[in-house]
Structure 1
Amino acid sequence: MKRLGPQAPTGPGAALAVLAGAQFAVVLSTSIVNVALPAVRDGIGLSDSGMSWVVNSYGLAFGALLLPGGRAADLLGRRRVLLTGLALFAAAALTAGLATTPWLLIAARAAQGVGAAAVAPAALALVMELFPPGPGRGKALGVWGAVSGAGGAAGVLLGGVLTERLGWPWVFHASAAGAALVLAGAVALLPGSPAPAGGGHRIDLAGTATATLGLVALVYGFTTAGRTGWGEPAALVSFAAAAALLTAFALVERRHPAPLLPPRLLAEGPVAPANLVMALLGAVWVGLFYFLPLYQQQVLGAGPLVAGLSQLPLAAANMAGSSLAPRLAARIGPNATLAAGLLVQAGGLLWLSRISAHGSFHADLLGPTLVVGLGLGVAFVQLTGAAVTGVRAADSGLAGGLVNTTRQLGGAIGLALLGSLAASATATHAAHHTRAQALTEGYRTAFLVSALVLAAGAALTPYLARRSARAAPAAATQQPPAAPLPLTTR
């Protein structure tokens, strides 16, 4: 392994800043396009269905390839996969901003999702590698949670500013520039990793293919059903294909010597229940950032820029919750902290379910979004930590891919279900109320159901606590991770 010279080892703080920047870029690109969609449609000649695919193509590629991305990071080297993913992400975002035809824009967004699927699990695995269990890891995950939550809100804000001031292509150019900046920082500051523990294993190609296609079919089915109806042939065929492919995936995994998703991963500690609760949190998270701007623009009459600026208090509260989570966990325990974060967020969503068609940001949104943001920050940090607790070092990239996969799948499924419920409530009230009142009833329904979903997640925390307690003795016997290596070219 070639050295770059006699430099001192890179400090973990600088490395964490780069890895947090990578996560911020991935989350930002999920939400930055939402406010710009009408301008994108008019500027490039998209149909309404094509407009939805600007979002869906990214989400499908990202969600379906996170597991393979995580396993590739474990087998090929986390730093190498991170750098490759960032380069693809930046190039695809630049291509999207330069696109002059709908098909090129949608293809570029899909390629951007592929890059993100490599970046997210590799970056989280590197955080776990750099920070051993203890207060340092708790603080690192606090930073991770802060930038993850802030990225969603910042995307809405930046998307509104760029669309109004410079035009929709700059939404993608900004993503490209940010990824290129993070890539440069990663090359300069990230330490090399030890040789991959699983380097001698063959990649599980059959498992990768069936899992990827199965997840694409599943997410496509829910996305189509939420837009056109649950009984539509396209949705039903997608669900049937997903069931067949994921069944095939389970059969393949039982026989492969180095499966894409080893059964031991879900059997170890709190990984399985943490991912289940993360799916519920993802459903609510995506729905929140979808319905809030719609309520502000379609009911309160705010423009894209104002709707974006209104996300700042939520982002600030999220960052506060993320920084509070490690200290709260040290005082009352991680599982009690998780339950508290979920219940606080549920309380804020219950408050949001009282929004008015004749309301205002200060009267209807400011208070509840601060509460939601605080709970979201606390819960996300605790769930991310639980999902990688007790995992073998050779599986840390896969564990990072899995927790991101469940959040993405939860978001896709949750948005489809919440969107259907909101549309149904709106249609029920449309005959006897104004359009603003009918839309408000739909959004109120979505927020109320979201609160119930998080309450169900909080009810699962005792099970997660029992799994964590069983994993503790085994974790105590594991060798501590090695110290970060000096800067290398790998």
Structure 2
Amino acid sequence: MLTDTNDLDTSPASVRQRRWMLPAVSAAQLMVVLDGTIVNIALPSAQRALGMSDASRQWAITAYALAFGGLLLIGGRVSSALGHRRTFLIGLIGFAASSALGGAAVGPDMLFVARALQGVFAAVLVPAGLSLLTITFTEPEERGRAFGVFAAVGAAGAAVGLVAGGLLTEYVTWRWCLYINAPIALLAVLGTAFVPRDARRSARGGGRLDITGAVLSTAGFSAVVYAVNEAEPLGWSAPKVLVLLAAGVLLLAAFTAVEIRARDPLLPIRVLAHRARAGAFASITLMFVAMFGFYLFMSYYTQTVLGCSPVQAGLTLLVNALAALVGATLIAGRLHGRVPPALLILPGLLSAAVGIFILTRLTPHSTGIFPCYLVPALLLTGLGLGCVMPPTASLATADVPQHAVGAASAAYNASQQLGAAIGTALFNTLAAGAAASYPTSAEYAAPAAASVHGYTTALTVAFALLMAAMCIAAPLTTARTTRSPARSPHR
């Protein structure tokens, strides 16, 4: 059963109050996703203002990614133990405060600490938000709309971050790329004021924290994310990267062994053992690997090859954001509960794969770049992402006991973070390697020919990953699952 219905107030007044939850959770989701990309645009300006060295500037990005990805599973457990609404409010206030600290930074160290604190509070905020949606919206139609809006915000947030980052940096100051979180958090807090208080916690939900599992999961995820970040400047074959990857894999394997035997596991293994849920995790991870490689391509290609400004490059991605909004709300949101999840996930993966395949046909001599290549690719990848996120988010938390919803939500978001980190580093490494090996003779000479070759090579890998995701997800998500969390028997 999805929720403990005895702990939920289902009176008409309470139902009306809970409708405030969707905009509050969506605002929080926008803030967290926005911050994953908005600082990227502001980083050159911040580096000049604070006197950051080239070697240390990456920590403005890495500190956030490490804290966020490394602490997500702990954040899910904290949410279940303290109550999802209470944890959500703590995350909102902490994220806003750490963002203000970063915006007021007077030196690199202050900025790096603020970014790490943002990651800490994001790690409790995101699982709590998804958990609130899961245990609140149980009717199929209502649930479809809720997850559609939530997914649309997540899918469009990265593109919006690039646009907002460019505009704020160019016309105001880079500091507002961090200050902007304060008003968004305030709106979310105001919306949460109308959300019912946490139901009483079950004994299992408030169990003892699995310290060993917490340490192993944090160290393992942090090692993998750090290795992936280091792979960009050093290369995947660098000893430091290989050692970190090996350590991360071993730590996560040890974490799995501990969780199987733990009395109160941080991540109940049955959350991952469910076939459809495993398909959802695999789908969203590989989708994010491919899509964040795609976003990196759009940023580099439009600016370095087409000569667009950062703002123009960001605005181009709005086509993708709008397509994701349509896919998540008008397609996936409306069809949720009416069709099997696989009928949304598999076509979504295919749509994104076709969109990326179009870009692999680019050459240095291609004409009609925007109408023939970029716009179709942006539309198809956006629709694909919008169709994949709502059903995978729903599957990831469906049929999970209430005390384990936080863990399932955290695992789903950890899959996204890991996919995004791997996608960015993998694409960058593949593109740079292919460009470096491109022939330099006059026969191949053309403006940015090596760069285009590098991009299309990396995009070919992204296309292959999406096709692999379809092959993995098809037998898992089409399998017969447990009964749908359509409605509570007490309603």
Q: Which amino acid aligns with 2:157?
A: G
> What is the CA distance between 1:466 and its match in structure 2?
4.5
d(CA) in 2 for partners of 1:311 and 1:238? 33
Question: For the Cα contact (< 8 Å) 1:329–1:336, is it kept in 2?
Answer: no
Q: Which amino acid aligns with 1:452?
A: A
Q: Which string of whole-angstrom CA distances, capped at 9 and with x for unpartnered residues, describes residues 390-446 of structure 1?
A: 211221111111000011112212222222111111111263445622112212122
Q: Which amino acid aligns with 2:361?
A: R
Question: For the Cα contact (< 8 Å) 2:134–2:394, is it kept in 1?
Answer: no
> What is the CA distance between 1:481 and its match in structure 2?
7.9
- Match runs of 1:61-460 below 5 Å: 61-186=67-192, 188-197=193-202, 198-323=204-329, 324-329=331-336, 332-357=339-364, 360-429=369-438, 431-432=440-441, 433-434=445-446, 436-460=448-472
Of 245-254 and 294-303, deviating more is 245-254
> What is the CA distance between 1:480 and its match in structure 2?
2.3
Question: For the Cα contact (< 8 Å) 2:20–2:191, is it kept in 1?
Answer: no
Question: For the Cα contact (< 8 Å) 1:355–1:365, is it kept in 2?
Answer: no
Question: For the Cα contact (< 8 Å) 1:338–1:379, is it kept in 2?
Answer: yes
d(CA) in 1 for partners of 2:78 and 2:216? 16
| Count of aligned positions | 472
d(CA) in 1 for partners of 2:299 and 2:402? 41
Question: For the Cα contact (< 8 Å) 1:299–1:357, is it kept in 2?
Answer: no
d(CA) in 1 for partners of 2:360 and 2:206? 53
Q: Which amino acid aligns with 1:369?
A: L
Match of 1:486 in 2: none
Q: Which structure 2 residue ranges, 5 or more long, are not aligned?
A: 1-11
> What is the CA distance between 1:297 and its match in structure 2?
1.1
d(CA) in 1 for partners of 2:253 and 2:341? 35
Q: 1:268 to 1:332 in 2, by over 3 A?
A: closer
Q: Which structure 1 residue ranges, 5 or more long, are not aligned?
A: 1-6, 484-490
d(CA) in 2 for partners of 1:403 and 1:450? 21
> What is the CA distance between 1:387 and its match in structure 2?
1.2
Q: Which amino acid aligns with 1:383?
A: T
Of 108-117 and 282-291, deviating more is 282-291
d(CA) in 2 for partners of 1:105 and 1:361? 38
> What is the CA distance between 1:25 and its match in structure 2?
0.8
Match of 1:480 in 2: 488
Three-state SS of the structure 1 residue aligned to 2:438 is: helix
Q: Which amino acid aligns with 2:318?
A: L
d(CA) in 2 for partners of 1:293 and 1:139? 31
Aligned-pair identity (%): 38
Question: For the Cα contact (< 8 Å) 2:280–2:477, is it kept in 1?
Answer: no
Question: For the Cα contact (< 8 Å) 1:342–1:376, is it kept in 2?
Answer: yes
Q: Which string of whole-angstrom CA distances, capped at 9 and with x for unpartnered residues, describes residues 266-299 of structure 1?
A: 2235112211121101111222222211111111
Q: Which amino acid aligns with 2:488?
A: P
Of 91-100 and 422-431, deviating more is 422-431
Three-state SS of the structure 1 residue aligned to 2:308 is: coil
Q: Which amino acid aligns with 2:180?
A: A
> What is the CA distance between 1:184 and its match in structure 2?
3.2
d(CA) in 2 for partners of 1:338 and 1:479? 23
> What is the CA distance between 1:362 and its match in structure 2?
4.2
Q: 1:166 to 1:470 in 2, by over 3 A?
A: closer
Q: Which amino acid aligns with 1:33?
A: V
RMSD over equivalenced CA pairs, Å:
2.1
Asked if 1:471 is matched to 2:482, the reply is yes
> What is the CA distance between 1:479 and its match in structure 2?
8.2
> What is the CA distance between 1:156 and its match in structure 2?
0.6
d(CA) in 1 for partners of 2:150 and 2:232? 31
Question: For the Cα contact (< 8 Å) 1:425–1:442, is it kept in 2?
Answer: yes
> What is the CA distance between 1:147 and its match in structure 2?
0.8
Q: Which string of whole-angstrom CA distances, capped at 9 and with x for unpartnered residues, describes residues 101-140 of structure 1?
A: 1111111111101111111110000001110151211111
Three-state SS of the structure 1 residue aligned to 2:346 is: helix
d(CA) in 2 for partners of 1:482 and 1:172? 45
d(CA) in 1 for partners of 2:320 and 2:261? 47
> What is the CA distance between 1:351 and its match in structure 2?
0.9
d(CA) in 2 for partners of 1:435 and 1:223? 30
d(CA) in 2 for partners of 1:421 and 1:482? 54
Three-state SS of the structure 2 residue aligned to 1:56 is: helix
Question: For the Cα contact (< 8 Å) 2:432–2:454, is it kept in 1?
Answer: yes
d(CA) in 2 for partners of 1:378 and 1:213? 33
Three-state SS of the structure 2 residue aligned to 1:194 is: coil
Three-state SS of the structure 1 residue aligned to 2:58 is: helix
Match of 2:4 in 1: none
Q: Which amino acid aligns with 1:101?
A: G
Q: Which amino acid aligns with 2:416?
A: R
Q: 1:341 to 1:98 in 2, by over 3 A?
A: same
Question: For the Cα contact (< 8 Å) 2:149–2:333, is it kept in 1?
Answer: no
Q: TM-score, normalised by structure 2?
A: 0.91
Q: Which string of whole-angstrom CA distances, capped at 9 and with x for unpartnered residues, describes residues 188-234 of structure 1?
A: 22221212223441011111111001110111112212320223232
Three-state SS of the structure 1 residue aligned to 2:223 is: helix
Of 229-238 and 258-267, deviating more is 229-238
d(CA) in 2 for partners of 1:482 and 1:39? 56
d(CA) in 2 for partners of 1:103 and 1:53? 9
d(CA) in 2 for partners of 1:89 and 1:403? 20
d(CA) in 1 for partners of 2:218 and 2:35? 21
